[in-house]
Structure 1
Amino acid sequence: MTNFISVISIIENYTQTVGLTSKSVKIKLTLILALFLLGLSCQEDIVVNHTIVSNGNIIDVKTGEILEHRDIWINKDKILKITHHDKDLRTTDTLIDASNKYIIPGLWDMHAHLWGKDWVLDRYTALGITGLRCMHGSDKGIEDIKKNRKDGFYRGFEFLYSSPITDGPGETWPGARVASNPEEGRKLVREYYEKGYDFVKVYNFLSYETYQAIADECKKLDFKFAGHLPLQVTAEEGILAGQKSIEHSIGLEHGIADYKSFINTHKDLDINTYTEAFLEAFDSNLKDNILTITKSENTWFCPTLSLLKSYIVNEEIDSIFKHDPRLKYIPKEEQEYWFGDITEDGAPSYLVASKESSEVEKVFFELTMSYLKPMLDNGSKFLAGTDTSNPNIYPGFTLHDELALFVKAGFTELEALQTATLNPAIYVEREDELGTIEEGKTANILILDKNPMKNIENTLTISGLVQRGQYLSKTELNKLLNTKD
């Protein structure tokens, strides 16, 4: 009421000053000004409460620059603005004290298998992972994802979901689909596209002709495909065909002068004997050939280094596996699968390896590691992935191990960090909203006690996580880490 009385007084003074006497003019001016002032009054009563990550040190994962003492203002699930720290922030806002802490984007595991296990998702969240690429889908899974994924967000994660594994005739995984010829491959691609999968997952035993048919059908539909390189396909052929990412392999086959002949000669060998033969045939003088072929603007490599390292198993290493302190976070039934008797419980055969085969796997792992940094410097692009669901691959934890292995291979801390932050955002074509801490981007924010640019293992010093604008404290993350089902 006071505002309206003030308005009338203002109008009377104004009309007298300018000589206006018309009653209708006075009424119109009074109404206009009253509505304007009433609007201002209403706006003053509306207080938007923000979540503010206060006084943290933001790591720019594009450049490595550290922006010290910054306040990150979050409205709903977006970063509204980033300002220099203000010690007099409003008490009505939710403040997350990040003083002396370091801030990076939430991490991605770009090669994950979930199998419907909630504890796996809990471990991922507890360890700062906010993005997943699931690499073996199902029709049941895609229906749930289409129903419940909103703006790319599903069950707490930015989420990509592959088709079922698409393989050729031969031993393959449960739930895989088999394409015995090119037309069957094309038919599967069309089926996956219509059902709404994000991409096609290709696998080991596809024939060269069927693989090329799948690639061609994907191109027609503007549909991505990724996965293993079939045994009959080289990295060069995969890159030329448009495969978006190559898993586990980094093109070392181009270190063998006539790889196709080698494959035909050794196709019936078991994996350990094959690997030994591969190492004997490998010619390090062909290094430049490997580097030239694997440089690509369109194809990424996801080498899953932790998985390759886990194949190095002997009695001593097996004992270390069985006493890993992180086992307390792995449910009992999962541990039984990891370490069960091979003849009774179906544990993977590579956990029962001879000393000789373990040494072969070690040499192959070290050879792979030696090529990563030269490939990176030459223009190859990398993603961090772990292949969870395999023994001794710890959901969440192993992603951090993967970053440390990239650094061990010669990457800088920044380059390693990019494989799980910036690079996945570019890969999923969402770099305008993910992958960095910037105004306007989605608020997936990992808060660390120590600087990962000094030591990549500091990505494990987790203080808190913002997941699409929702803050999870260290206490809440620890609860997730200890869930049992």
Structure 2
Amino acid sequence: MGKWAKRILLGMLVLTLVSGIGTYVFVKRAVVEMFGGNTQIAEPLPRAADAGPVFITNVHVLAPAADMFLEQQTVGIKDEKITFVGADAPIPKDAQVIDGRGKYLVPGFTDSHVHLWRSENDLLLYVANGVTQIREMHGTERHLRWRSEIEQGRLGPDLFVVAAQLATYDFFEGLWIELTAERNVVRSQNDVQSAVATLKSKRYDAIKASSFLSLPGYQWASEQSEEQQIPLTGHIPLDASLEDLWASDQGEVAHVEEFVKALDREFGGYRHDSTEDFLAFVREKSAEVARRVADRNIAVTSTLSIIQSFSAQQMDLKPTLAGVELEYVNPGLAEGQAMGWLPETNRYRLADQYKTTGWKDRQGAYWAAYAEAQQILFEALRNAGVRMMAGTDANVPVMVPGFSLHGEMQAMQEAGMTTAEVLASATTIPATWMNWKAGQIRTGYAANLVLLRENPLADIAATRSIETVFVNGHVLVRTRLDQLLESVRTANDASRQESLDFIR
């Protein structure tokens, strides 16, 4: 009898082990799919950059302060660096000459808040839209690998890789989160110290606070940021207050929205029927919040457009999807449950049980107040002279990689910024924060540049009028940029499981 009991027990252990392995493999495959890892890779274009120097002549050049164009300038490029900026230059016989007559040369744009996830084709979308630098806000080792490949000549934007967020969960939930969301789970001071040291050793550029990082974890992360000399960025944790932010080493807040959420916690949580009281509270607090941000020299990333989209995504999704470049979104992401964009999977869709009588009025009032609170704080931060960086939260619905930055710059202008301030938020300011010698057209700076047909200081929408992109030694004229876009669209179509006909 004992022998049979042992055999049964052994059999049960084997079955449990096999079942566990099977579950792990199934979940891992699902995660790869939902975060875009199974989408066909777009065909890259052969490198077309000439080995010799490049000179752009007769062009209007954006001044370093981003507030005016210097007329009839010549800009020289060699070995991925700007070698000359001036009214006249001796041009070598072996140089490639590009006539910039009537056009406008600006630094390549930076999107300071993106999520590549596993969507490799997005690297081409950024370049095709003149976005030559991005800050990845949920970095993993695959992003470090892509950064290295780009440094070695692969076509793509320069990457500033912020490590996947530090977050606090109990043991079993933490195992699940690490498997499915790839966050860095920490519960103790030793966990935080070890995690930060490991992330720095792997050459991540910064660490990130999660909304779900405990207050002690946030304080420990702040200590380690200062001690190990690695920037701390990200969210204001739900367990933290603005006073905790002021006391921290956090050098950047990743959304204006974070201040809305912090004030909402301080207010006690507003509802659709208390929006006016909440907005009055935000107006009362906004100038002081902005002053403290400025005094602490904390930078803030915008992400205005995505907040403005929340209400429409809940109540009128199909026209919202029809208004963005959905065909370029990785279908694994668009169709999946994790970051879903489509009607049946949309991340911001309202569950049916909440769609009771008057639900549209309630939701409309709530999200309108949320967007207005963001606007109030954005204006206060700008008036206080806070460094603002343009960022989109790309790959979160409905922010299409590359394309969405142009919409964000438009939103920033509509929120009160001048065109010069908007251009600085997408060029000089993020380059300075990330310690890149880029974002300005100066001798010795990176030759990541965009040649525009129209003047963006006259109309910020002109950032879309892209004629040529210069990035990491690649010279991409309009026809080649269009080929990149078509290559991504074709790869997406080959991987698509659901038709997009519903938006046409």
Query: How high is the TM-score relative to the length of structure 1?
Result: 0.79
Three-state SS of the structure 2 residue aligned to 1:135 is strand
**In structure 2, which of residues 59, 62, 69 is the aligned counterpart of residue 59 of structure 1?**
62
Determine if the alignment matches structure 1 residue 435 to structure 2 residue 425: no
Correspondence for 1:30: none
Q: Residue 254 of structure 1 contacts residue 286 of structure 1 at CA under 8 Å; is this kept in 2?
A: no
Deviation of 1:160 after TM superposition, in Å, equals: 1.1
Matches of 1:129 and 1:303, distance apart in 2: 16
Three-state SS of the structure 1 residue aligned to 2:290 is helix
Mapping 1:7-406, distance limit 5 Å: 49-85=52-88, 92-142=94-144, 144=145, 148=149, 150=151, 156-169=156-169, 174-248=181-255, 249=257, 251-252=259-260, 259=265, 279=278, 282-296=281-295, 298-313=297-312, 317-324=316-323, 326-337=325-336, 338-340=340-342, 342=344, 346-350=345-349, 354-355=359-360, 356-406=362-412
Correspondence for 2:46: none
1:211–1:439 distance in 2 versus 1, CA, 3 Å: same
1:90–1:472 distance in 2 versus 1, CA, 3 Å: same
1:296–1:123 distance in 2 versus 1, CA, 3 Å: farther
1:51–1:278 distance in 2 versus 1, CA, 3 Å: farther
Matches of 1:278 and 1:250, distance apart in 2: 19
Three-state SS of the structure 1 residue aligned to 2:325 is helix
Determine if the alignment matches structure 1 residue 426 to structure 2 residue 432: yes
Q: Which amino acid is 1:369 matched to?
A: Q
Q: Residue 128 of structure 2 contacts residue 402 of structure 2 at CA under 8 Å; is this kept in 1?
A: yes
Correspondence for 2:478: 474
**In structure 2, which of residues 407, 411, 414 is the aligned counterpart of residue 408 of structure 1?**
414
Deviation of 1:181 after TM superposition, in Å, equals: 3.2
Deviation of 1:200 after TM superposition, in Å, equals: 1.0
Q: Which amino acid is 1:164 matched to?
A: A
Q: Which amino acid is 2:245 matched to?
A: G
Three-state SS of the structure 1 residue aligned to 2:164 is strand
Matches of 1:312 and 1:452, distance apart in 2: 30
Matches of 2:277 and 2:302, distance apart in 1: 18
- Cα RMSD after superposing both structures: 3.0
> In terms of Rg, which structure is larger?
1
Determine if the alignment matches structure 1 residue 454 to structure 2 residue 458: yes
Q: Which amino acid is 1:58 matched to?
A: V
Deviation of 1:333 after TM superposition, in Å, equals: 4.4
Matches of 2:402 and 2:282, distance apart in 1: 36
> For structure 2, which runs of at least 5 residues remain unmatched after alignment?
1-50, 492-504
Deviation of 1:211 after TM superposition, in Å, equals: 0.6
Matches of 1:275 and 1:199, distance apart in 2: 38
Matches of 1:53 and 1:104, distance apart in 2: 12
1:289–1:154 distance in 2 versus 1, CA, 3 Å: farther
Between the aligned residues of both structures, percent identity stands at 23
Residue by residue, what CA displacement relative to the aligned partner does 1:424-477 show, whole Å, maximum 9, x if unpaired? 1110122xx211001111111100000000111110000111112321000011
Q: Which amino acid is 1:163 matched to?
A: A
1:138–1:209 distance in 2 versus 1, CA, 3 Å: same
Q: Residue 235 of structure 1 contacts residue 250 of structure 1 at CA under 8 Å; is this kept in 2?
A: no
Three-state SS of the structure 2 residue aligned to 1:230 is coil
Q: Residue 313 of structure 1 contacts residue 350 of structure 1 at CA under 8 Å; is this kept in 2?
A: no
Residue by residue, what CA displacement relative to the aligned partner does 1:109-140 show, whole Å, maximum 9, x if unpaired? 11111123232111111000010111112244
Deviation of 1:91 after TM superposition, in Å, equals: 5.6
Deviation of 1:362 after TM superposition, in Å, equals: 2.0
Aligned residues: 421
Q: Residue 126 of structure 2 contacts residue 156 of structure 2 at CA under 8 Å; is this kept in 1?
A: no
Q: Residue 462 of structure 1 contacts residue 474 of structure 1 at CA under 8 Å; is this kept in 2?
A: yes
Q: Which amino acid is 1:218 matched to?
A: S
> For structure 1, which runs of at least 5 residues remain unmatched after alignment?
1-47
Three-state SS of the structure 2 residue aligned to 1:312 is helix
Deviation of 1:215 after TM superposition, in Å, equals: 0.7
1:349–1:367 distance in 2 versus 1, CA, 3 Å: closer
Q: Which amino acid is 2:440 matched to?
A: T
Name the stretch that deviates more: 317-326 or 474-483. Answer: 317-326
Q: Which amino acid is 1:130 matched to?
A: T
Q: Which amino acid is 1:378 matched to?
A: A
Matches of 2:303 and 2:199, distance apart in 1: 26
Query: How high is the TM-score relative to the length of structure 2?
Result: 0.76
Q: Residue 66 of structure 2 contacts residue 421 of structure 2 at CA under 8 Å; is this kept in 1?
A: no
Deviation of 1:102 after TM superposition, in Å, equals: 0.6
Correspondence for 2:47: none
Residue by residue, what CA displacement relative to the aligned partner does 1:210-243 show, whole Å, maximum 9, x if unpaired? 1101110121111111111101223442243111
Matches of 2:484 and 2:133, distance apart in 1: 17
Q: Which amino acid is 2:56 matched to?
A: V
